[in-house]
Chain A
Amino acid sequence: MAYSEKVIEHYNNPRNVGSFAKDEPNVGTGVVGAPECGDVMKLQLKIGDDGVIEDARFKTFGCGSAIASSSYVTELVKGKHIDEAITIKNTVIVKELNLPPVKIHCSVLAEDAIKAAIADWRKRRGDNFASGEQPLRAKEA
């Protein structure tokens, strides 16, 4: 199977590979997929108090399309408010990377990773409520 030029480009020059320190309070971590399925994505988002995604990092175990999908997502979410980022659909990734039908699950996983990272950040913020931070849960409700 031939890969699209964009997948190859991201695979060869992945953006924002790496990890943030695990316990930074403003970092949300999403880990999705499973090793036995051949795909695991870890997406970390550094999110400001205003809910804007300041920075992103990823690590992915998976095929080239999975790596490209997560690499692209780190670029896509940067600068976006979480309310906007959470609405990103996998179809955007499919279109940008020209993913063939058999690789659509890679884009779904990347979409799930965004959602999981934001949910994790929100959970941590909720946990930190006692320490005097602005509770964002109220906004959700």
Chain B
Amino acid sequence: MLKKPVYMDNHATTRVDSRVLDAMLPYFTEKYGNAASRNHSFGWEAEEAVDRARNQIAALIGAKSKEIIFTSGATESDNLAIKGVVEFYKDKGNHVISCVTEHKAVLDSCRALERAGKATVTYLPVDKYGTVDPDAVRRAITDKTVLITIMWANNEIGTIHPIAEIGKIAKEKGIIFHCDAVQAIGKVPVDFEKAGVDLASITAHKIYGPKGIGAIYVRSKGPRVRLTPQMDGGGHERGMRSGTLNVPGIVGLGAACEIAGMEMPEEAQRLIQLRSQLQAGLFERLDEIYVNGHPTERLPGNLNVSFAYVEGESLLMGINDIAVSSGSACTSATLEPSYVIRALGIDDELAHSSIRFGLGRFNTLEEVDYVTDRVSKEVKRLREMSPLYEMAKEGIDLKSVNWKS
């Protein structure tokens, strides 16, 4: 029996895996020590748990355990990486290279630095698949460049950037390379050491762990990366991030990383199959639908589709027992659709028509079939109601119409 509502928004967040929760629970009630307490068994027990988690995380991402610094999540990690590097290396330069489709936590950290007069930022464009060109990164480098920040995989369209190529360029030029790897770790193989990534943001809640806990990978050798801390306090985490460690959360992040690493080969295959089934089913039933993002270089669980002539928010309303998300922003004051979809150069109308399906560990084939059926029917119903669909069927080129808005 299919349980509703169906959750298919796993890029937004994920359900905590019961194995992760089981690992965490003792650290709330029995093993509640402060990992910084050095003189009793409660503290030692907590510290051991934190060390174990560091090892579990490091093993998933090609890092050494001491290179893991715990934070409250990816937004904090992004802020710490970008602001921390620019402030620490201010005598070396003040130029940052980023990309237009980055997460808001990255873009807004960059903008904050620009506003404060601490940095100038180049935001590189992407191609029609949402991929940044490594040569464009190379060309954007100046003698003032101190940081490159490019995400591993995009949260809306799932496109995976050529990170190792960018890492190679960064190494060649001696520039620090930060990577928001939130959507990638645990989903696709990630090795920061090999990819030449110097700093990376990760978070637990995208990989079936708890919310409110994340980490930043900080390379310790070749080069040893330094950061100006963004919070003052007890000097925890090698002075980079003060604050009592969230031991249950850290245990959860560690367990989530270990499970994701163990299951990744089979799970990625399973998700690719589910996604192919969803995509094929929608294409079978509907004409004029378009996949946004890269056809192959994309996250296994991601499918972003534009359903021409149907506005995304109204589609979501029609499929209200399915949790997905839309690139439409009919509720925002600007009425502008997703900046990520727009960056692909597709028409705004198609951007308004985009839906992101985020498949995850707990989705089933039965759910995929249900979603395919439900979405197709609703798209058909809304197209019957759509003046644009009618005009298109009459052979009117919508671009030639002089819209009075």
Contact = CB atoms under 8 A, between A and B. Distances in A.
Interface string B219-232: 00000000000000
Question: For chain A, what secondary structure do more than half of its interface residues adopt (helix, strand, loop), or is it mixed?
Answer: mixed
B313 A61 contact: no
B405 to A, nearest CB: 4
Interface string A46-67: 0000000000000111111111
Given A11-B317, A35-B388, A105-B335, A62 B330 contact: yes
B352 A59 contact: no
B387 A40 contact: yes
A21 interface: no
Given A11-B317, A37-B335, A38-B335, A63 B330 contact: yes
A42 B330 contact: no
Given A11-B318, A64-B317, 18 more contacts: A8-B317, A35-B348, A35-B349, A35-B398, A35-B403, A36-B403, A38-B329, A38-B348, A38-B349, A39-B330, A42-B390, A59-B387, A61-B386, A61-B389, A66-B314, A102-B331, A105-B335, A116-B404
Question: For chain B, what secondary structure do more than half of its interface residues adopt (helix, strand, loop), or is it mixed?
Answer: loop
A18 to B, nearest CB: 9
Given A17-B385, A38-B328, A62 B404 contact: no
Nearest to A109: B405
B347 interface: yes
Interface string B341-357: 00000011100100000
B384 interface: yes
Contacts of A38: 311, 313, 328-330, 335, 337, 348-349, 352
B2 interface: no
A14 interface: yes
Nearest to A67: B314
Contacts of A36: 347-349, 352, 403
Interface in A72-107: 102-103, 105
A59 B386 contact: yes
Interface of B: 309-311, 313-314, 317-318, 328-333, 335, 337, 347-349, 352, 384-390, 398, 403-405
Given A11-B314, A35-B352, A60 B405 contact: no
B313 A64 contact: yes
Contacts of A59: 385-387, 390
B90 to A, nearest CB: 41
B386 A60 contact: yes
Contact of A67 (B347, B385, B398): B385
A64 B405 contact: no
Given A34-B403, A37-B335, A66-B314, A14 B348 contact: no
A114 interface: no
Interface of A: 1, 3, 8, 11, 14, 17, 19, 31-42, 59-67, 102-103, 105, 116
23 contacts: A11-B317, A19-B390, A31-B387, A31-B404, A32-B404, A34-B404, A35-B348, A36-B347, A36-B348, A36-B403, A37-B348, A38-B335, A39-B330, A40-B387, A40-B388, A42-B387, A59-B386, A59-B390, A60-B387, A61-B386, A63-B314, A64-B317, A102-B333
A1 B313 CA distance: 11
A116 B332 CA distance: 26
Contacts of B335: 37-38, 105
Contacts of B352: 35-36, 38
A103 to B, nearest CB: 8
A34 B405 CA distance: 6
Nearest to A42: B387
Contact of A1 (B314, B331, B347, B389): B331
A114 to B, nearest CB: 14
Q: Which 9 A-B pairs have the closest CB atoms?
A: A36-B348, A35-B349, A34-B403, A34-B405, A42-B387, A59-B387, A38-B352, A63-B313, A63-B330
A11 B311 CA distance: 13
B80 to A, nearest CB: 32
A14 B330 contact: no
Contacts of B328: 38, 63
A48 to B, nearest CB: 24
